[in-house]
Amino acid sequence: MDTFALVVTIGVALFFTYTNGFHDSANAIATSVSTRALTPRAALAMAAVMNLAGAFLGSGVAKTVSEGIIQTPEGSHGMAILFAALVGAITWNLITWYFGLPSSSSHALFGGMVGAALAGGTTVYWNGVLDKIVIPMFLSPIVGLLAGYLVMTAILWIFRKANPHKAKRGFRIAQTVSAAGMALGHGLQDAQKTMGVVVMALVIAGVEDYSDPIPVWVKLVCAIMLSLGTYAGGWRIMRTLGRKIIELDPPQGFAAETTGASIMFTTAFLFKAPISTTHVITSAIMGVGATKRVNAVRWGVAKNIVLGWFITMPAAGIVAAGGFWVVNLAFL
């Protein structure tokens, strides 16, 4: 196996993680920043540290990504498929970041993998795609919407007699904890996705086997790149999540972050499902906002975001397929 191809593919995978970090940093901190619970830089620093810690909490999601979506043959053909998948995911990440749309980096990666695999004539594990990606893609926003609504309703009932100003101050402090939990869950979910891709590259190159534990250096470099990307920030998307969907106050921000973090930890540990942190926090914000009044949520913005969710996988897949054909013509 060409060592240069392996190094390049791992490098591209780490760059994908970096784009994932600055693309999805808004997931963890937009609500805390918009409610002024944290300053932007303090929030980004906290999120970067918690992303790093979260990456070491498990490996179930990484195993799902590396073994449960596509089959990659050993040698240059398999490496070209993986390389093209990453190019498709990165391209979609950059496009949606530019337009400030909180699309899913996770589903960009999965779409890229499926598109490159189809173009490369290798096996797609459709049962795994359906069970671990498509079904959670539809269920997690619904759960986030309903759970966000219920959590916020419970908060409003519990604190119905509290002094509003004191309650807001308390929730502003509590948001530090909920935002940290959100960032920890983001590290748990998203760093592992790239770990799974790097493991695939190592297996294709004959360096590792799927039965081997994930090397510590793989966990470390993926976690560091995600943290660096997170600290770089994603201000365009942060504005969309923090302000354009609904103007959040501290209790609402706490409810949305607590809901999102709970769903991410549950799916990672119980189901080993690589869900989208973007889908979860965005839908939780919508659910929380709807408790104020239904028309408090700017559903036009929400509609554009949801439309982006639906086109992410096929769009990234098309780019990845084109990338594979280019690599195939040029190098194979």
- Does the pLDDT value for residue 245 go beyond 60? no
pTM for this predicted structure: 0.89
Q: How far is residue 192 CA from its own chain's centroid?
A: 10
Mean pLDDT over each residue of the chain, to the nearest integer: 86
Per the CB < 8 A criterion, the answer to whether 96 and 313 are in contact is no
pLDDT in tens, 169-222: 999 999 989 989 998 998 899 899 999 999 999 999 989 998 899 999 999 999
Cα-trace Rg, the chain: 19
Provide the 10 A C-beta neighbour count for residue 169. Answer: 12
The predicted structure's pLDDT at residue 281 = 84
The model's confidence at residue 29, banded by pLDDT at 50, 70 and 90, is confident
Domain assignments of the chain as residue spans, ordered by start: 3-326
Mind listing the pLDDT tens digit for each residue in 134-169?
898 888 888 999 999 999 999 999 999 899 889 989
Q: What pLDDT is recorded for position 35? A: 77
Q: What pLDDT band is residue 224 in, cutting at 50, 70 and 90?
A: very high
Q: What is the dihedral of CA 168, 296, 41, 49, to 10 degrees?
A: 80
pLDDT at 17 (0 to 100): 93
pLDDT in tens, 101-132: 767 888 999 999 999 999 999 999 999 999 98
The amino acid at 229: G
Q: Quick check: 78 and 324 in contact, CB under 8 A?
A: no
